Structure 1
Amino acid sequence: MAAIFLSVASLTTSVQANYWGSCNDCCPDVTVGVDWLYWSPCASDRHFALTTEGIDSEVNVKTHYLCDEWDSGVRVYGKLGNLWNGFNGGLIYTYINPKTSGSVEQIGNNGVVFSFGLPIPEEGRGLLQGSRLDAKWELQYQTLDAILSYSIDVTQNRCFKIEAFSGLTWVDVKQKASYTLDQVGGNEIEIRVDFDRNNDFWAIGPCFGLNTSFRFCDCFNIFGLVKTSLVVGESKNKDVIYGTRGSSETSTFVTVTAKDKCFCFPGLHLATGIDYELCLCNITLDLRLGWEYVQWINAPTFPYYELDGLGVRSAPSTNDLTMQGIFLGLNTTF
């Protein structure tokens, strides 16, 4: 659903946290790695349907929500150490495609209705109550980070590292939601109303942060990451309502498009975990396991529609796109 979802859009999580500053002296300059992500998107306003129970003054209204599912993603990265005067350079790409769905059915006089407004003319509003409502939501999320980092020796302790970094973050998010409302007569669908929604946005801007790494025993490290970013970009929305009556052909009721060519919002990325480092001659292998949290604050999402007399009024909307979960990764330095 609307939502989602990484923040460092998922900049570096483990990636930066550990391999940027290792206690192992046998590593030369080039690091490449991959992380398997297992994240869950989290967003407010995930409701899609209302049902009622009772009669007269004892009516109870129940709101139905899409559940947050867990999905797999991937992050690949590369680092070039000692690029210039102790500075390191790196690229990190993150991709995840979470999906979820829900369904509500209620036969009878009360039926099922949408829990949000639709951009439909007054003469068509009687179609917005049915016997069954199905909902699907999908998020395609990807980020690319170009990072320049520098180690800060503040403790004279080789096994405790602090590294400051900055660079550019690019985030691209595509959200899709589809709703199908059926009005059933007997055993057949008499009227079907479909509402398809698309919200796409991209943004780019600076990012800043710190990595820490502490070796607490041979070959084992604890690492952490804090990253903030501020991005500027554009978004576009397209909502389409169409319906089918009986066996007739599908017809389009309403198409609404909107575009915002300039918006700005911040991001946050946190990560922590543990890694195991093994050095073989001039090659270092690093296995990492950790947890991370990615949030884009007030990111664009699907617009809201409000009834305005006989018409419909729309308003741009924002929401926090949040994802959190675990990662498991392997990198090699040579």
Structure 2
Amino acid sequence: MRKMKLGAALMVLMLGGVFGQAQARECHEESSGCCFDFDVGVDFLYWKPCVDDLDFAAKVSGNIEDVDRPLLVSYKSICPDWEPGFRITLSRENAWKCFGLSLAYTWFESGDSGSARADNGERIAPTLVPPTFVNLKNVGFPNENSFFDSGRGKWEMEYQTFDILLSYQLAFGSCHTLTPFFGVQVVKLDQEIKGKYEDTLVGTFEEGPLSDLSVTTIDSKWKSDYTGAGLKLGTSYTYALCGDFKLFASAAASLVIGDSDTSSQFSFRQTTFEESTREDYMHVKDDDCCHILPGCHLQLGLAYDGNSCGCDWTFKLGYEFVAWTNVPTYRRFQESADVLQPGGLMSPRQISGSEAQIAQSNLVNNGTIGFHGLTVGLNVGF
């Protein structure tokens, strides 16, 4: 049995050597000329982003003590719409020792917004500002709640990648072609989230007419700029159908390491009936230590090969899915720095930023962002 295994191994090695020599000779013969042929591809992308945790407010209604109409908290989120993008590819077969070389640049930008307003007994609870800033609203009005009349949120993103890949084409019969590839990928992902909350407290002062006792506005802005580079590997597959049609599929995985420049800004402004104005500010800077992003990229579609004026071209129509994990996310603070002062009155202005719990928040490097949608492309050989 051992001799049979050794014999089989030797036969595999001999066949591999013969196949390798034949392939090397064929590649050498194809690349020995002076023509530096290359392909240029342009893909039109129509993708929809899918992003974690884009809620900006919650509508609150009902009563926690009412069994028939219990307290209801309904979150309002930003839902990004479909947006266009593009990808440009420059490639050459047998660029180096039978390996193909390709350079690809992808650009995609998206942005959307949402708003919520309190109607019919509803209240607006903000989700993009620290609890300390929410509680600042009632420093001079301890008997009022800390809800708001309206809330707005806006999200923007710019996504760019640059790939440098080597590939090796393997043909199986006359219909199947498998092309493994590997190389380097650079990723740049910039995001920005803004929030705005407004409330007008209407009441009477010293038995006077109804008037605005206070007008409160809270603004928030979160910005994250991530840049990383790492390895990308995968394989593509084509199956020749009747005529010049063929099916294509591709699967790739990436692992990039980079830094994220992430920060948050909050501002509070309140004007009271006495025409006095109070303003408070808070800036948060996240650590930008090395940050790892795993990613995947899937493609599936139909292609058609043709020739015009001596140039080969390929038209393709397909579906793509891209996903990245460990993406930087919005920092949401969980605790308020407010404490009860002697006499039972809150004084957040005196202690805001001086209590340790002001830094308590969720994890901020565990988000997921993905894109999926249609791809229409044209590759032309020169």
Q: Same fold (TM over 0.5)?
A: yes
Give the whole-Å Cα distance in 2 for the aligned partners of 1:270 and 1:249.
55
Q: 1:64 to 1:217 in 2, by over 3 A?
A: same
Matched, 1:118 2:165: no
CA RMSD of superposed structures (Å): 2.5
Matched, 1:297 2:325: yes
Give the whole-Å Cα distance in 1 for the aligned partners of 2:263 and 2:149.
26
- CA deviations 1:130-158 (Å, max 9, x no partner) are 101011101111000001101023x232x
Matched, 1:280 2:327: no
Asked if the contact 1:194–1:243 (Cα under 8 Å) also holds between the matched residues in 2, the reply is: yes
Matched, 1:147 2:172: no
Aligned mate of 1:260, from 288, 291, 294:
288
- CA deviations 1:205-250 (Å, max 9, x no partner) are 0111001111201121110000001111111211111133349889
Worse overlay, 240-249 or 256-265 = 240-249
> As a proportion of its length, which structure holds more strand?
1
- Helix, strand or coil at the partner of 2:136: helix
Asked if the contact 1:268–1:295 (Cα under 8 Å) also holds between the matched residues in 2, the reply is: yes
Q: Map 1:96-175 to 2 at 5 A.
A: 96-107=108-119, 111-115=123-127, 118=130, 120=132, 124=136, 126=138, 129-153=147-171, 155-157=172-174, 159-175=175-191
Identity %: 27
- How many pairs does the alignment contain? 306
Worse overlay, 95-104 or 257-266 = 257-266
Compute the TM-score of the two structures, normalised by the length of structure 2. Answer: 0.74
Aligned mate of 1:54, from 56, 62, 82:
62
Matched, 1:179 2:187: no
Q: 1:250 to 1:95 in 2, by over 3 A?
A: farther
Q: Residue in 2 aligned with 1:20?
A: none
Give the whole-Å Cα distance in 1 for the aligned partners of 2:254 and 2:41.
23
Asked if the contact 1:117–1:306 (Cα under 8 Å) also holds between the matched residues in 2, the reply is: no
Larger radius of gyration: 2
Mark the runs of 5 or more structure 1 residues left unpaired by the alignment: 1-26
Asked if the contact 1:29–1:82 (Cα under 8 Å) also holds between the matched residues in 2, the reply is: no
Mark the runs of 5 or more structure 2 residues left unpaired by the alignment: 1-34, 140-145, 203-210, 339-356
Higher relative contact order (CA 8 A, sep 6+): 1
- CA deviations 1:88-112 (Å, max 9, x no partner) are 1111111111111110000577521
Q: Map 1:202-241 to 2 at 5 A.
A: 202-241=227-266
Give the whole-Å Cα distance in 2 for the aligned partners of 1:48 and 1:173.
21
- Helix, strand or coil at the partner of 1:124: helix
Asked if the contact 2:257–2:292 (Cα under 8 Å) also holds between the matched residues in 1, the reply is: yes
> As a proportion of its length, which structure holds more helix?
2
Asked if the contact 1:129–1:181 (Cα under 8 Å) also holds between the matched residues in 2, the reply is: no
| Corresponding letter in the other structure for 2:361 | S
- Helix, strand or coil at the partner of 1:98: strand
Give the whole-Å Cα distance in 2 for the aligned partners of 1:295 and 1:248.
50
